[in-house]
Chain A
Amino acid sequence: MSGVATGPSMGRVNSPAASTAVPATPSQARYEPPRFSARGPISSALLEALGRGIREAGESLGGLEHSTREAIAASPDVIRDDDLQLSLLILHGLHYGGVVDSDDDWEWHPALVAARVAIERAFEAELRRQVPVPELPNPSSEDVAAALFELTKPTPGPSLSRYVARKASEEQLREYLVLRSIYTLKEADAQTWAVPRLQGRAKAALMEIQTDEYGAGDPERMHSAIFARAMRGLGLDDRYGTYIDCVPAVTIASFTMMTMFGFNRSLRGATAGHFSAYEMTSSIPNRYLAQGVRRLGFGDDIAWYFDEHVEADSVHEQIAGRDLSGGLAEAEPSLLADIMWGANCSLIVDGWGSAEALACWEAGRSALRMPLPSGAER
């Protein structure tokens, strides 16, 4: 990039003096009604404020941090709290974009940052209460990788992916994609927050994986784009947010957890361990999912997403175990416990969501919190 203004400019150098002399454009309150509903007082206050634009609503949010703290204190379990998990998804969405289409300036509004941090601290504390730290290996790359592979080793018996392979109906496959879409339409973005928070071998390893996740320069191969294509192929709407109402809190928590891990430097150990476990539990389930897709008569275009992950994640799991988590443990041995804990968080929290969906299907019920919105299917 040169310093010359290239837009609809006057064809002259845009000096700092010239740009400060230009009056600020009045902030246009951009807003589109969200495609989902509030689940309690905090998410309701957030959606209401975002709908009014930052200038009008900014001052009315003075009490948000206090009411958020009250909601946290009253919540029996922040991990499964619909209102708090949806609120955190909305607040993280201000950084990602695409959750609520609102004024960009909301991103760093102090009242919203305070509410996000309050929910994240309570969420992390609850995760530390409910998810144990596994036995710690030596902080060497080989030992950490071996311990993570041991922790994540395939288990026999019923699983959501085996159910999809053998028994799921087309409607259940659609439900599966809806549940996955909360994270997967933003696949890899949650971990990218961690890139500048890591150094050396761990940073290089994360980028080696992310390059592949983002399609190695080809936007069509980006994993989130391949997933969106599978959604469209099954007649689903691939816009983020269409199905948030359908998804239970624990599924939202899987995504807000990984965003929180990536977004907080203090949790860089957890993000490395979480991502490693996520990759290590991906290639075999994705093979089952691809089998289910083909059993139901869909072709390679829909199965592509799952086929891609069989091959890609067999690479990623080695890099993640040895170089991301192993490299980080060698560089910063004090993070070892968080690396192993983050891995367990992935297994346990994602496992809760999968177990609940499987129990619903086996009982002949929908795994969704409410039916798919009418007209959302194409």
Chain B
Amino acid sequence: MTGRPPTIIACPNGPLLVRGDAALETPDGEPIDRHGRNTVALCRCGASAIKPFCDGTHKMTGFRSDD
């Protein structure tokens, strides 16, 4: 835990960048392993092969967040 309130940046045409103490859980309440990372990027294009994390595939599919 970082002691920092969570913030989520909606990156244009890209993932949700999550910083701070956000608990990532499965629908069953099991913790999702952040692999030691303080800041994580969550997929929002739906095409990642490592969901819930981003793997950069949005750049190949031309995903637009229209924001």
Contact = CB atoms under 8 A, between A and B. Distances in A.
Interface of A: 142, 145-146, 149, 153-154, 208, 211-212, 215-216, 218, 221, 283-284, 287, 308, 310-315, 317-319, 322
A216 B14 contact: no
Contacts of B57: 284
A287 B60 contact: no
Contacts of B17: 315, 318-319
B11 A287 contact: no
Contacts of B59: 149, 153-154, 284
Contacts of B49: 287
A89 B34 CA distance: 36
B13 A149 contact: yes
Given A215-B36, A315-B41, A146 B12 contact: yes
B38 interface: yes
B41 A318 contact: yes
A314 B55 contact: yes
Interface residues of B, number: 23
B43 to A, nearest CB: 9
6 contacts: A212-B38, A287-B55, A311-B50, A314-B56, A318-B14, A322-B9
A325 B59 CA distance: 19
Contacts of A318: 9, 11, 14-15, 17, 41
Contacts of B36: 212, 215-216, 218, 221
Contact residues of A: prevailing secondary structure? helix
Contacts of B35: 308, 311
B46 to A, nearest CB: 14
Interface string B49-67: 1100111110110000000
Contacts of A311: 35, 37, 50, 53-55
Interface in B1-51: 9, 11-15, 17, 35-41, 49-50
Nearest to A287: B55
Max count, chain B CB within 10 A of own CB: residue among A153, A287, A314: A314
Given A142-B12, A212-B36, A314-B54, 11 more contacts: A154-B59, A215-B36, A221-B36, A283-B56, A313-B56, A314-B41, A314-B56, A315-B41, A318-B11, A319-B17, A322-B9
A159 B64 CA distance: 26
Contacts of B41: 314-315, 318
A358 to B, nearest CB: 20
Contact of B39 (A146, A283, A315): A315
A310 B38 contact: no
B20 to A, nearest CB: 12
A315 B52 CA distance: 13
A287 B41 CA distance: 16
B60 to A, nearest CB: 5
A310 B41 CA distance: 11
Nearest to B16: A318
Nearest to B62: A153
A212 B37 contact: yes
Nearest to B37: A212
The 10 A-B residue pairs whose C-beta atoms are closest, nearest first, are: A283-B56, A314-B54, A315-B41, A314-B56, A216-B36, A314-B41, A310-B55, A318-B11, A284-B56, A318-B17
B32 to A, nearest CB: 12
Contacts of A221: 36
Contacts of B55: 283-284, 287, 310-311, 314
B56 A319 contact: no
Contacts of B60: 154, 284
Contacts of B12: 142, 145-146
A319 B50 contact: no
B38 A208 contact: yes
Contacts of A308: 35
Nearest to B17: A318
Contacts of B37: 212, 216, 311-312, 315
Contacts of B38: 208, 211-212, 216
